Structures are given as structure tokens and as C-alpha cells.
Amino acid sequence: MTGPSKTGPAMTGTSSPGDGIDRVGLTLLYKRVRNICDEMAFAMMRTAYSPIFSEGLDFSTLVLDRRGRLIATAGINPAMLGASLYAATWIIREVGPENFAEGDIFVHNDPYRGGSHLPEHMMVAPVYSDGELAAFVGNIAHLAEIGGMAPGSFAATATDIFQEGLRIPPTKLFDRGEPVQDIWRIMLANHRTPNNSWGDLHAMVGSLRVGERRVGGLIAERGVDGLNEAFEQILDYAEAYMRSEIAALPDGIYTGEDCMEDDGISDRSYWIRSRIIVEGDELIFDYSKSDEQAVGPINAPYVVTLSASLNGLLYVLARDVPVNAGIVRPVKVVAPAGTITCVRLPGPCVGGQTEFQPRIMELVLGQILSQILPERAAAASGNTSLNFLFGGVDPRNGEYYAHYHFEGMGWGGRADSDGNSAQIVPHANCRNTPVEIFETKWPWVHEEYSLNDDTGGAGRHRGGLGVRRVMEVEGDVITVSALSERMKRSPWGLFGGHDGSRTALEVAPAGSDAYETFQDAFGLISPSKFTNIRLRRGDRVRITSPSGGGYGDPLERDPAKVLADVELGFVSRVSAESVYGVVLAGAPDDGLAVDEAATEALRRSMRDGVA
């Protein structure tokens, strides 16, 4: 079978598509625009009030052409790709580009208008040159608190969008450089932590102003028309690259399915069924056979399904392609309204971005495209952001606080390496919040934060390890909520690799060392999705994140790697022998070594089904 192109249409050549800038100049220009996005991102990170910005980096920054098409984005959060492609465009089309004045900023967070979920707010500002509209800059960022029925605005038992927080249609936030005070008052009055929201929103505004100045510098060099002609070439190049990669795939229909374990409202699964249709240099993702939309908030807006599909494809195919509106031209995503893949108003969807999107991305990347490109596929990661939300009054200062926490977990093994440990889901590049920041900001104290050893899915390349976090409540009352997955179904292995371990959310009352699941302790419908559980001083929470699945037969793993895993504590000596068939000689204090003869004999008997 013919494999995909390794390099695509080289951007560094000297030939030029059409009469525009040559490829070397195009590459330099694209990198400059990417650098503008990066500078915007640094400005936001350094001026934000909330750790979800400054530490977690749960945002993205954008440069768009004068028609609102994405030209470049900072490589921070791939989960926001779909919204980056359409949320700003929706604002511009709904408002009308002629209604953007210099200094204006518009905002919206509507999942039914190209947004991903309510916490993620999209801002867009025009860039003018001598009175002529030249381009737009934008950003998308997850605000830690936007109201709704649960502190942290992640209501795992919401049954409609109105319970999830304040929903904002495209709305003018700045008018010719001046804040629209009435809009600010409405927004902040509906947030539980208005001071943090004010600071984070202004960090977003500052980021846009940086982008305006830097894009203005490009316009001064090239002129409005010259810059937009070059933007058009960048889009054309991305399209050509994607088409060349798709054309190298064998034509055919490839299928796969996976499910969401429950929706927090009832104990039933919701299935995602996907067909990938490759025909020539075009590709279709078809989700029309997926289940109807859920009652609870695990549904995906269309852009989330689009984002997941594109990310799964990009991970496997176009590794060096400029990520912009050009990549969508040869790709179509079919997601009928009213299914779990395209929520219809007023369906809730706050969990779609964090739980549904990685499920689709890994369905595409692992289960389906592994049928075509096994050497580029990966086993399942822990595949949940393990959202843990909390809020209350801090006894140290008497102020109300709220926080949205996501947890790292293990990634799946792949053809050439083990899965990463203690990282956020692969569809996002967000970072964890350091324990020192965590305890400074909120009334928790950590007893443990460690790798969950001996849990990675066994394989020729094993899955990465999840983490275990144990925290004690130091406030009088903390209200907690959770929205996660992988408690009922394990992350799957590939090509003989073993499944990874599952999620666990447990609680122990003050003065007790006996942990039980939140479901058992509070009589909940779902073990992984609950809202507004009140914990008291001295109660402890234990969060155990899932590990990744393994890739390939564990009996094919290099014994030296098994030995290294045992020495590092990643794999137990018992598992080395019983799962990997590796016999170790010696004692840990004196140094371990592989007993090669015993290992060969044990592996032979295990393959023969004797051991």
C-alpha cells in the first residue's frame, strides 16, 4: 500500500503558486505571523489573574485575514482548533465587517454560534490601516468561572445550556477603544469570582492590542492588499499540503466506534460511530450513525467534532502543515444536528470539549487510521481531562474563590515509543497547576501527588502512567463537582497491547482512612459526573487518573527496558515477570539484572500458553 508523503509540497522551495511571493518568502512570512500569535499568548499568560491562564495555558491566539479566515494560531491548545476556524468568522459575519470600527472588540461564547463550550470566550478585534480594514486578531480562552449551577461552571448534571453559565451572543465589549460598561457589568455580575474574570478578560484584551500592533507592522511593510494576497497563498499552500497527504492514502471506507460511559443523568452509554471515506485528494468524516444527543452535558457542538476530527488527522498525516483555514478545504465533517456529535439548542455541552473531543480524536487516530497507518497510530490515552471543580469562601481571607482543575494522565504507547506520563489529554497542550500555586490560591493541602506506578498498559511500548493526588480540605466547606470518563471502560491497547487503568474519584471523611467512591458515599447516579457535593474541613479527596494503553505484544518488549522500568518504579518486579515474561536476578539494593536464559524460557512458555 502506498504511504503518505513524508514532506508534502515543500514550502522551502523557490517556485511560487501563481504570481505572488516565492515559497521562501512565504515561509518567513508565515513564521512571522505565528510569532505574532506566540507574542500575543505570552502577553496573556503574563498578565492573567487565574492559574488556568498563567499556569494551565488554556487559551489560544489567532491572526485572521480581513474576511475572518484563520491564517495562523499559537501552538498552545489544539482543542480550540474548531472554534479558531469558525467562532471569529461567525462574529464577523453576524456583526458585519463594515460594523467594526478601529478600537472595537467583540466577544462571544455561544456553542451554537461556532463556540466550543460556554467557559471558552472568543474575542476578536479589527486591524485598520489608514481607515481601511486590513485583518483581524483574536483569542479564545477558558474563564475559570462564568456562573451557572456549579462553582467552576462545569455542571456535570446540567440538562440544558442555561444551567451551564452566562451565554453571550456576539457583543461589543469595547467601542472605539472604550469599554462598554453596561456589558462589563452584566458579565461580571453573573460570575462568582468577578475580580478574576475582570483580570483575565483584560489579559485577553491586552493580547489583542499586542496583535494589532504587530500585524500593523506587517501592513506597513507590505500594504493591505499585499498582505492579504500573501495570506491567500498561505491558505492555498495548506490546502495543497493536505490534499497531497490525503491523496497518498488508499481510497476506501474505514470505520470505528467508541462510547461515552454515561451523561451524568442516567446510567447508559452514548455511542460515537465514525466512517472515514477517502476518495482521491478529499476525505469525509461521517458521524451520522452516532447516538442521539444526550440529556446531560457530554454533547459536542459541531466545531468540537470538527476539531477532534482534524486533530486526529493532523497527528497522523500533515505534521508540518500550517494550521489555518486552508486545511479544511479538502475535508468534510458530517455531524447531523440533534446527535451527540452536533448538539441542538438547548442541549447542554460543557463536557463536549474536554471529554467528547479526545474520545473522537483517539477514535480517529488510533482505531480507524491504524488500519491504514499502523506505524503512526497510538493506543488510547487515559482520554479524560478529569475535570474537578470547586469553590467556596477561603477562611484565610474571607473571599469567595472558584477553580477549574484538570488532571494529567497516561498517553498510549505508539509504534516507536512508550506513552508519556502525567500529561493532559493529547488534544490539548495545557499544563498542570503546581502544588505550590494550588495551595497558595485555595484551601487545600496535598498529602500526595505521585505517579500511579505499575498501571501503564503493557505492550512492546507501554502506556504512560497516570497520577494519584490526595488532598485535604482546609476550608470550612468546599463545594466540589466533577466531570470525567474512563471509570467503566479502560483505555484500549493496540496490536496486542494491554488496556490501561481506569479513573477513580474517592473521598474519605475527616478522621478516617477509609476511602470510597463519591458515587457510593453520596448515592450518585454516575461515578464520574456529579455536581455540588459539599465537603468539610478534614475530608480528603483522592483523584487517580487513568493510564494509557499499550502498543504491541508485551512479550516483544526489550527486556532492558523492562529492567529500567522496574528500577525506576514504573513497573513492579512481579509484573515484569507475569506480564512481560522478564525474569530479573539479584536484589534491588545490590543491583538487578536480566536473567536472559530464564527470560527466553519463560517467554517461550507464555507464548505457548503454558505459563
Write out the three cell numbers for 339. 446527535
What are the domain boundaries of the chain? 23-240, 378-557, 558-607
Ranges of the chain with pLDDT below 70:
1-20, 318, 429, 610-611
Q: Give residue 98's pLDDT.
A: 93
What integer pLDDT is reported at residue 611 of this predicted model?
Answer: 60
Instruction: Give the HSE-up count for residue 306: Cα atoms under 13 Å, Cβ half-sphere.
Output: 24
DSSP structural state of residue 412: P
Tens digits of residue pLDDT in 182-240: 999 999 999 999 999 999 999 999 999 999 999 999 999 999 999 999 999 999 999 99
Residue 480, SS3?
A: strand
Percent of the chain scored above 70 by pLDDT?
96
Cβ contacts of 371 within 8 Å, gap of 6 or more? 254
Which pLDDT score is estimated for 426? 86
Is the link from the previous residue into 346 a cis peptide, with omega within 30 of 0? yes
447 burial type by CB count under 10 A (0-12 exposed, 13-18 middle, 19+ buried): exposed
Element (H, E) at 138: strand 132-142
pLDDT of residue 12: 41
Question: What are the CA-CA distances from residue 531 to residues 179, 265, 383 (Å)?
Answer: 35, 11, 21
pLDDT, position 23? 84
* pTM score of the predicted model: 0.93
- What is the enclosing helix (H) or strand (E) of 597? helix 596-607
CA 555 – CA 95 distance, rounded (Å)? 60
In this predicted structure, what is the pLDDT of residue 283?
Answer: 98
Which pLDDT belongs to residue 579?
98
C-alpha cell at 454: 505499575
Alpha carbon dihedral 40, 46, 49, 51, in 10-degree steps, equals 100
| pLDDT at residue 13, rounded to an integer | 38
- List the beta bridge partners of residue 175: 178
